[in-house]
Structure 1
């Protein structure tokens, strides 16, 4: 068995840090000038594409299996670019997200230092950590095999849930008749967060694609960190807190009927049964 190229992977991580830091610096500069730090959300997905491209180029000529390298590059690029385009279209004309407006009210010290600590540096660090499967997979010499096929299948399930869920929600919000109503149709009847569930599957799939050797097990930190963020911090928990405040009992009823994360058939709520 070929010895794992630790030095090459270490250099790859360093190059990824430099590339992500450069991207974050540019986005921060533009955001300061535009007085809109929501722009960082648009570049979250594309930042992973930057890492994938850097890793693919850096691993050229290495022991990495060429098919695995190309598959990981394509899957990461498709996911990251679609997400960036979706958020860009969604945010167009809406100004700064209230989360960032509230964050800026608590600014202390220099503006750049505060933004690096609270927004751009933090998100850049997360990109480098979460993208570890993408970086390590580029240096795995084993062919994809069955486990690689499972990884692609899990990624595909995640991509469908995320892309279709986003499309369904966009179409729902575009209809004036749905003003003030809760989206509980399509995939949103099976899980309150099909896009977040899909995102978690994306990174589980990429983690499986990094398992060309036991070294890939170290990258399990990626799906753990991503899923924890989606469920407990910046995703599900934060969104549902706001929705319960705005929609009250109607959203409580939706919670009662619909799975919070993992998809399952919707069930009838106690309110519905009581009214029948």
Structure 2
């Protein structure tokens, strides 16, 4: 195999070494812009630059450029959900990039192809859910940003917050959660043809399982919100939902049935578990208990902790019964000592 912009390392532990697999290639960020300008629109030249650049470095460059564009767009439009529109797309894009780069470079690996497929499925589901809630409508913005702006109440400070956290940190996080895939690229380059074993199958199927959980959780939420919206219009329970919700359920204002009777945020639980699974998969393949790519999964958990606290504070102020729901149902992990709360409709059917 021809020499590639990847390290030749000797041990499994070295595959996870940031000093050996990442640092030596960061200098490519200096000449990459000039190389792209020289290549212009010539496809063959662009392909040569693409393959001559370490795949993680090119992903970092793209992430940084995108962060700058999103920051400018947010400030011009005074809409801070720019990164939200890419949240479901970028991780899949990065993983497909890693798989494509490896294939074009002559690295054949079933693991990379599997990861790409799994994350594309994840992306399609999440993108669809975001779209049907109006996330891609012109002018749409996450309602929580208005609350955050009111608390900051200083345009300059919020601009710095937009630059540092909303644009740069979140764009970088969406790359970081896919860095375990880079370890698979390094491993495939050094090990050659691989065996996709039963443990690999188990990790990939676990990831699919969490996607399914997210699908059902989001769909249950969507049905409830759709029924509530129509009920608030004409005070009638929509025909398709009469067996699922009662007037009391819809007047309560938030869903407490199905997966939501076991966890207050089952979709977020599955989302965090999905990326933890991808990270643990890399740990298994490199026989390590921890490696630097875990920063992505850790950052995802941290950002969900913060966003959920804000969301629940807003929800509790809006719906009087939400505090009771919080007392009965765990935020993420089910409270097995407390019985799941049934809806009035479900009680009638028993």
- The structure-2 alpha-carbon separation of the partners of 1:70 and 1:264, relative to structure 1 and needing over 3 Å to count, comes to farther
User: Of the candidates 45, 49, 59, which is equivalent to residue 16 of structure 1?
Assistant: 59
User: Of the candidates 235, 255, 268, which is equivalent to residue 326 of structure 2?
Assistant: 255
Query: 1:273: which partner in 2?
Result: none
Whether the 8 Å CA contact 1:107–1:114 is kept in 2: the answer is no
**2-structure distance, mates of 1:153, 1:28:** 37
Q: String of CA shifts for 1:17-69, please: whole Å, max 9, x gaps.
A: 11222333344444444432223212112111221122223323668651101
Q: More displaced, 2-11 or 174-183?
A: 2-11
| CA apart distance, 1:267 | 1.2
User: Of the candidates 166, 190, 212, which is equivalent to residue 285 of structure 2?
Assistant: 212
Query: 1:227: which partner in 2?
Result: 301
User: Of the candidates 74, 77, 82, which is equivalent to residue 39 of structure 1?
Assistant: 82
Query: 1:169: which partner in 2?
Result: 221
User: Of the candidates 162, 178, 181, which is equivalent to residue 115 of structure 1?
Assistant: 162
Q: String of CA shifts for 1:205-262, please: whole Å, max 9, x gaps.
A: 21133232236841333333222322x212x2222222222223x1122122222212
Alignment of 1:77-116 (within 5 A): 77-92=120-135, 95-104=140-149, 105-108=153-156, 115-116=162-163
| CA apart distance, 1:108 | 1.1
Query: 2:260: which partner in 1?
Result: 188
Whether the 8 Å CA contact 2:262–2:340 is kept in 1: the answer is no
| CA apart distance, 1:201 | 1.4
Greater C-alpha Rg: 2
User: Of the candidates 256, 267, 272, which is equivalent to residue 339 of structure 2?
Assistant: 267
**1-structure distance, mates of 2:81, 2:124:** 17
Matched, 1:56 2:103: no
What TM-score do you get using the length of structure 2 for normalisation? 0.66
| CA apart distance, 1:8 | 7.6
Matched, 1:200 2:272: yes
**2-structure distance, mates of 1:257, 1:237:** 17
- The structure-2 alpha-carbon separation of the partners of 1:154 and 1:264, relative to structure 1 and needing over 3 Å to count, comes to farther
Q: Secondary structure at the match of 1:175?
A: helix
Whether the 8 Å CA contact 1:69–1:138 is kept in 2: the answer is yes
| CA apart distance, 1:74 | 1.1
Q: Secondary structure at the match of 1:140?
A: helix
What TM-score do you get using the length of structure 1 for normalisation? 0.81
Q: Secondary structure at the match of 1:221?
A: helix
Any stretches of 5+ residues in structure 1 without a counterpart? 270-276
- The structure-2 alpha-carbon separation of the partners of 1:148 and 1:216, relative to structure 1 and needing over 3 Å to count, comes to farther
Whether the 8 Å CA contact 1:137–1:216 is kept in 2: the answer is no
> What is the count of residue pairs matched by the alignment?
265
